Amino acid sequence: MATAAEIDRPKDALDDFRAEVRDFLAANFPPSLKGKGNALASVEGPTDETPEMTAWRVAMGDRGWGTPTWPKEYGGGGLTKAQARVLADEMARVGAWNPIGGMGVMMFGPTLLEYGNEAQKNEHIPPIARGEIRWCQGYSEPNAGSDLANLQTFAEDKGDHYLVNGQKTWTSGGQWADKCFCLVRTDKSDKHKGISFLLIDMTAPGVEVKPIKMISGMSPFCETFFTDVKVPKENLVGQEGQGWTIGKRLLQHERTNLSGGGSRLQMSGPSLADLAKKFVGEEEGKIADRDLRARITKWEMDWRAFQLTAMRVMAESKAVGGVSEVSSILKTVGTKLGQERSELIIEIEGLQGLGWEGEGFSADELHQVRAWLFGKATTIYGGSTEVQNNIIAKRILGMLDHQ
């Protein structure tokens, strides 16, 4: 039996917040946007915003709920982890999606909050939190991919500015980006300590971007050339020579998000079971193909176990002040599961999963083929699986090289 104190206890503050979120969603999220996507996070580039999409983005940005746990003073939501979970749950309940995202949210913002000075935070974080700006990543080079520390793009100190010359490749979304967070060399005498972290305006004179067409038919990656590009000194994040440390921290954020562990929602796209029932058929409510049914069940179990693990790891990381090398485990497992899912979809759709263009194929079927091909890159970019396995062996398992 409840005590008098329990009966008189005020309603849980999270209940009040849940009610606030429900009222906000009812007033601001149009049901017509269910099933749409976040244009800022799209690998296919920005799409034309409808008035409803713009209004939804502005509403979320004004609350800071697109970046719910970022500090309120920089435009974030200032929510606790518990409140952020309530927000995510309520959005999922009505089919709402976060209209604010992209590399600024996934990677650069969290890194700048840790390493940037006050002027940099005040300048760059609020536009990211409002979804008003696109960022791209200047890391890989033709001769510095997995061995990223071999990068040669050079920033020469010119007093009040740096003069940047060099080339980056695989610059995701470079042709659509407003700004670039970039690793450059400021000292040629030291491989790691000679690297610095610069912010470069993509509209600055001397910046040239050339999209790379992929096997999927899309061009989300680019070659980026810097020819005598002037970068103000105030665009240096941290200290000269601190770029390798900052860059590695950013990669941990990237790997967590690329794994799919950055979201509490199910992997986007159609249900494997629903697809199988549509294309393969069903018997008494079950997928007709028994072997396929077992493999889909196994994938669902693996994915849900992965999500629970990712949520636990992220909670532990926040408790100790940020992401860690465990992000390499999430990246390795999450991208592998994503590729397995795409393979299952192609198998389920049969001949309809082999279309490239022309009549006889739906838009969704053609999209799945391109997504399957594009997904092959996920175990390469952000640090290849081989690189992640080295990090796991050395940094987590303590397996050092023996001469």
Report the C-alpha gap between 35 and 105 in whole angstroms.
21
Report the C-alpha gap between 185 and 191 in whole angstroms.
9
The partner residues of 208 in beta bridges, in order of sequence, read 225
Choose, from 52, 118, 223, 254, the residue flagged as catalytic: 254
Give helix then strand counts, H and E, for the chain: 13, 10
Token pair listed for 97: 């999606």
Report the C-alpha gap between 110 and 257 in whole angstroms.
12
Instruction: Indicate if 254 belongs to the active site.
Output: yes
DSSP secondary structure string, 111-164? HHHHH--HHHHHHHHHHHHTT---EEEE--BTTBSSSGGG---EEEE-SSEEEE
- Provide φ and ψ at 354, rounded to 5°: -115, 5
Other residues' Cβ atoms within 10 Å of the Cβ of residue 295: 18
CA 171, 175, 177 angle in degrees (round to 5)? 85
Assess contact for 127 and 67: CB atoms under 8 A.
Answer: no
Report the C-alpha gap between 368 and 269 in whole angstroms.
9
Active-site residues, by number, are 254
